[in-house]
Structure 1
Amino acid sequence: MGNKPSGIGEVTRALVDHAPLLAPEHRFILIRNADHCEALSKADNVTEIPLHNPANGPGTLWFLPSIIDLDGVDLFHAPFNILPRGLTMKTVATVHDIMWLTHPKWCNPRPYGLIERHFYGHGINRALNEASAIATVSEATKQAIIEHRPHVAQRLHVTLSGVSRRFRKVAVDPAVLRDIGLKHDQNFILTAGQFAPYKNHEGAIEGFAKAFANRPDIALVMVQRRTSGIDKLVELARRLGVEDRVHFTGPVEFDTLLQLYSGALALLHPSLCEGFGNPVAEAMACGCPVITSNVSAMPEVAGGAALLVDPRACDDIARALRQVAEDSQLASRMRTKGLKRTEELSWESFARKNVEIYTKLLA
């Protein structure tokens, strides 16, 4: 576990926080990224081993048993899609999605993506073929795996992801919005997530431009973890005549993210595929109405609290955006439903389901 914020990081954090407490009869060994200097857990039944190799790196994938001493380990859980080679104990692999196997260009269309495709394809295939149990963070991912590899169905377990209680509605500081580039009293739509083709940020900009071509009082804020290739999005916004109303922030501090979720007219998350879709749950937990895709895991995560759209249909996205922006009663109902839905997305419940898998395998 390292310092880079991600959906996989949230899953790992939940296991670290809850699993040792839920299973005090077991001893847990946490392999910690050496760049993370502080201890991950204070539980009495936890030991930590610092490792300089990243979780999703070649050293971990191919040489982990040679790098650290795993003697005496009865079960190994890899919560990061790939399963390291050479493990002789029982194993659990959390497979968040299989896009690297089914739609690799959605993940990284650049030349370097060919290398990543080989790496992740190798690691995910080993997880599917060799893991004693395969955990998925949504029913949607489970079904996608079954369609791709029907013979692994008996080893699949759904451990639905949660949302941290850190995500909550907060007061918005106007100075924070000004720093992003928003004008005084300008409302905004929010899109959050790494810049990758499957996130469909082009569709978000096109839908925004169609919905609010004549609404200079509404802007689009795009929070992206990756910024390479952003020039294409800037050019798209320019061609659509909304360049001055589309603001790209890059990564932001957690407090800023809370304010953006809390202050947005809506979160627009028109992703083509997700293992879970953390921004959907995070936004709802902050009282933000959500517009998201009607495919993959998004309807499952939203649980009836969001407006669902065809992510490939610009008109459909625009229609939903106008509905939320122009119907305050609809937006209010969506906020209430969203908050209620996130109460059901518990990280403790997620960890408990994983501990149940451990117990079954160790028995």
Structure 2
Amino acid sequence: MPDSRPINIALDCRYLGPRPSGIGEMVAALVAHLPGMAPDCRFTLLRAADAAGPLSGAANVREVVVRAAANGPVTLARLPLAVDLTGIDLFHAPANILPGGLRMPSITTVHDIMWLTHPKWCNPSLWGRVERVFYGHGITRALGRSARIATVSAATRDAIAAHAPHVAGRLAVIPSGVAADFTPVPRDPAALARIGVPKGRRFVLMVGQGAPYKNHAMALRAFAAALGSRAGIDLVLVRRRGASGAGLERLAHRLGVAGRVHILPAVARADLVQLYAGAEVLLHPSLCEGFGHPVAEAMACGCPVITSDVSAMPEVAGGAAVLVDPGDIGDIAAALMRVTGDMTLRAALRQRGLARAAMLDWQACAAGYLALYRSVLAEQSPAVRLPVPA
């Protein structure tokens, strides 16, 4: 007899916590949309111990607190040691690595494969060697064992296919979106001053962690080359300070722009929206991105964007940004001079960015994952199938 119980889909939500991330944004969107899209399915959400309260109030959701870290040794070695996964029909691992010990079909979202192709872009320190082994193993397992591998951009799909051609047939592109609270707001000088931007200053904005692939040192050099003599414009970086932040401060001193470079820690979302609203331009010259959420967020807030002409950035920008060679200081500097000096260009970039951001929809992303779940489960025993909507 066919099993009449609801299909039980586990979504690993342990990236949802106090630290903001693009992966967390995606997981939050799936939690918000999936239960309502498939009311006849059951969703088991694996929640981190430091997550703030319940993740969902939907009737078809069960939440389980998992003490093991999402990127920890227990997860990599054998996740069922930390959580009972009995009765799970499909497991969705949304954060690059596939946990060990899973017996059910799985889908892994692989955002990028820099740990396999350019590990020094991620973390060049001694600890980075440990991380390289950890993530290299987890990503390689995901490519080898996942029933489907979702990517957040065609750029990542193509990078995986080039690195591991044998998995090309299991790849699916499901673009990320941008949250509704990233929206145009009036520039508030008092709020900007409270956040850490000196009152009355124009500024170029950068947003992102301090990893080498974010290319912050190159961007700082380009800022100094382009705007070092224009004392009315500052550079604001939203990122964790850390050792690399101190290095940027020393570089700013050597370049003669130290008093005009402001490194801020992670800020509240409303403050980030205000920074996007107040900036002359977002500068995002990354060497590689799985998606590049700051590009989408800035466009949604009406902030002009300068970003790289490589990896996923042109795909996300969709013709609405100025593209530069991230390895060419002169190219980045020329774009900064052009955009900050041309009010008409900034207005055009704002309008094009708003139109492009409106196409990046989290509900469409969730629908893409639900279709992928159906596809995988339909290949299993006939007793384990997701209902197909009329």
Same fold, judged at TM 0.5 (above): yes
Secondary structure of the corresponding residue to residue 70 of structure 2: coil
Asked if 1:357 corresponds to 2:366, the answer is: no
Tell me the equivalent position of 1:290: 305
Q: For 2:148 and 2:370, locate their aligned partners in 1 and report how far apart those are by CA, in whole Å.
A: 12
- What TM-score does the superposition give when structure 1 sets the normalisation length? 0.98
Tell me the equivalent position of 1:120: 135
Moved more, 229-238 or 330-339: 229-238
Secondary structure of the corresponding residue to residue 229 of structure 1: helix
Partner letter of residue 109 of structure 2? T
Tell me the equivalent position of 2:315: 300
Q: For 1:178 and 1:67, locate their aligned partners in 2 and report how far apart those are by CA, in whole Å.
A: 45
Q: For 2:91 and 2:308, locate their aligned partners in 1 and report how far apart those are by CA, in whole Å.
A: 35
Whether the 8 Å contact between 1:138 and 1:276 is mirrored in structure 2 is yes
Task: Choose from 146, 160, 166 the match for 2:175.
Answer: 160
Q: For 1:57 and 1:12, locate their aligned partners in 2 and report how far apart those are by CA, in whole Å.
A: 18
Tell me the equivalent position of 2:295: 280
Secondary structure of the corresponding residue to residue 228 of structure 1: helix
Q: Number of residues paired by the alignment?
A: 363
Deviations 1:61-114 (A, max 9, x none): 212112211111110000010001111111000000000000000000111001
Tell me the equivalent position of 2:88: 73
Shift of 1:37: 4.2
Tell me the equivalent position of 2:42: 27
Q: 1:226 to 1:13 in 2, by over 3 A?
A: farther
Shift of 1:181: 5.1
Deviations 1:281-327 (A, max 9, x none): 00001000000000000000000000000001011001111111111
Q: For 1:311 and 1:349, locate their aligned partners in 2 and report how far apart those are by CA, in whole Å.
A: 31
Partner letter of residue 17 of structure 1? A
Shift of 1:173: 2.7
Whether the 8 Å contact between 2:92 and 2:106 is mirrored in structure 1 is yes
Whether the 8 Å contact between 2:121 and 2:211 is mirrored in structure 1 is yes
Q: For 2:198 and 2:47, locate their aligned partners in 1 and report how far apart those are by CA, in whole Å.
A: 43
Asked if 1:337 corresponds to 2:352, the answer is: yes
Task: Choose from 360, 363, 366 the match for 1:348.
Answer: 363
Secondary structure of the corresponding residue to residue 164 of structure 1: coil
Identity %: 56
Deviations 1:17-69 (A, max 9, x none): 11111112211100001211411111111101011112121111212112211
Partner letter of residue 167 of structure 1? F
Shift of 1:225: 3.2
Tell me the equivalent position of 2:331: 316
Shift of 1:224: 0.3
Specify every segment of 5 or more residues in structure 1 that has no aligned partner in the other structure, as ranges.
Answer: none
Tell me the equivalent position of 2:235: 220
Tell me the equivalent position of 1:51: 66
Tell me the equivalent position of 1:110: 125
Q: For 1:144 and 1:134, locate their aligned partners in 2 and report how far apart those are by CA, in whole Å.
A: 13
Asked if 1:188 corresponds to 2:215, the answer is: no
Partner letter of residue 185 of structure 1? G
Specify every segment of 5 or more residues in structure 2 that has no aligned partner in the other structure, as ranges.
Answer: 1-13, 379-390
Whether the 8 Å contact between 1:276 and 1:298 is mirrored in structure 2 is yes
Whether the 8 Å contact between 1:227 and 1:250 is mirrored in structure 2 is no
Matches within 5 A, 1:134-283: 134-179=149-194, 182-225=197-240, 227-283=242-298
Partner letter of residue 109 of structure 1? P
- What TM-score does the superposition give when structure 2 sets the normalisation length? 0.91
Q: For 1:166 and 1:273, locate their aligned partners in 2 and report how far apart those are by CA, in whole Å.
A: 26
Q: For 2:198 and 2:136, locate their aligned partners in 1 and report how far apart those are by CA, in whole Å.
A: 45
Partner letter of residue 55 of structure 2? L
Matches within 5 A, 1:58-97: 58-97=73-112
Whether the 8 Å contact between 2:287 and 2:311 is mirrored in structure 1 is yes
Asked if 1:130 corresponds to 2:125, the answer is: no
Aligned-residue CA RMSD (Å): 1.1
Q: For 2:92 and 2:243, locate their aligned partners in 1 and report how far apart those are by CA, in whole Å.
A: 32
